[in-house]
Amino acid sequence: MNRQRPRTLLFAIDLSPPSLPLLDAAAELAAMLEVELAVWRIEEQRLLEVLKLPWCRRVLHHAAAPVEPCDSDLERELRLHRQRIEQELSVSAERWQIKCSFSHLRDETGLALFEQLHTDTLLCAGSSLWRQWEASLPPQAILHPSIWLPSSPLRGEEVVAIVTRHDAEAVLDAVKPLVRRGRRPVVIILAEQPEQARQLEQRVRALLAAEGIDPRIEPWHSGDFDELCQRLRSRAIRFLLLSNRNDKVPPQQMERLLQAAAAPVMVVAAD
């Protein structure tokens, strides 16, 4: 089956300080996936309006007391934040040898962002933005092909994939480019009962053999999510993959999965 591969990794970054260090991780992922990186700064209109309220004050390290902000302060901060993003993006693009672009979007709920996503676009964001979006987005939007970034840097080496008999081809197609660049060890977790898992293991080995990949296969028969998280915490994971058809990991558990893996989590389309 011919599947549309992503051509662009869209990294959404907000105005919070923890978001900026994630930019280089997004650039590395774009290099691993061999796609272009598009960075969109998400500006919350509600936050910008709060900053203009008469009781809002700025706390400065060098000031004896909080001071009243003005429009020029806000514009200057936004301009400085944009400059920092552009500088970091330029450094990361050169380091990872990728094409990149930068834009911005006023968006409270994520709806405006999701409406502009194309089928060949892979959305990437930190957990703080995903938490913000989950409250307002329908489940099908959360299950758009995406990457959830952890707050910690990328340290592990293993590419780990959770597969079922319904999504093995789609997930393994996404595994291949990640392994091709760096020849990382591959671990496949079979989320099926014993009989189906034995058949699935044969399919998995056959699909990866053409790429010269000899994966480590691990069964996950119980379907117990706590057991899965404990298993992931014991591994040195570089990248964790699963599909949007994997009913063993519901969307509301994605943040727990991200915390357990301590690595980027990629949701693959398996329609």
At 207, the pLDDT band (50, 70, 90 cuts) reads: very high
Q: For 8-22, write each residue's pLDDT tens digit.
A: 999 999 877 778 889
Q: For 141-174, write each residue's pLDDT tens digit.
A: 666 789 999 987 777 899 999 999 999 999 999 9
pLDDT at 210: 87
CA atoms within 13 A on the CB side of 119: 6
Strand order in the sheet with 146-149: 100-106, 36-43, 8-13, 121-126, 146-149, 265-268, 237-243, 158-163, 186-190, 216-219
Give the residue among 156, 264, 160 at the shortest CA–CA distance from 215: 160
pLDDT at 3: 61
Q: For 73-118, write each residue's pLDDT tens digit.
A: 667 777 888 899 999 999 999 999 999 999 888 765 667 777 778 7
Exposed e or buried b per residue across 195-233, where buried means at least 16 C-beta atoms within 10 angstroms of its C-beta: eebeebbeebeebbeeeebebebebbeeeebeebeeebe
Domain limits, CATH 3.40.50.620, in the chain = 8-147, 150-268
Q: Which residues contact 178 (CB under 8 A, 6 or more apart)?
A: 32, 33, 159, 184, 238, 239, 241
At 32, the pLDDT band (50, 70, 90 cuts) reads: confident
pLDDT at 88: 94
- CA 93 to chain CA centroid, nearest Å: 18
Q: By three-state DSSP, how is residue 123 classified?
A: strand
User: Does the CA dihedral 68-71-75-81 come out positive or negative?
Assistant: positive
Amino acid at 229: C
pLDDT at 44: 63
Superfamily of domain 150-268: HUPs (3.40.50.620)
Q: Is the pLDDT of residue 61 over 70?
A: no
Cβ proximity of 196 and 167 under 8 Å: no
Beta strands of 68-204 (E only): which ranges? 100-106, 121-126, 146-149, 158-163, 186-190
Cα–Cα distance between 186 and 213 in angstroms, integer? 8
How high is the mean pLDDT of the chain?
Answer: 84
Cα–Cα distance between 172 and 208 in angstroms, integer? 7
At 177, the pLDDT band (50, 70, 90 cuts) reads: confident
The CATH number for 8-147, chosen from 3.40.50.170, 3.40.640.10, 3.40.50.620, 3.50.50.60, is: 3.40.50.620
Amino acid at 13: I
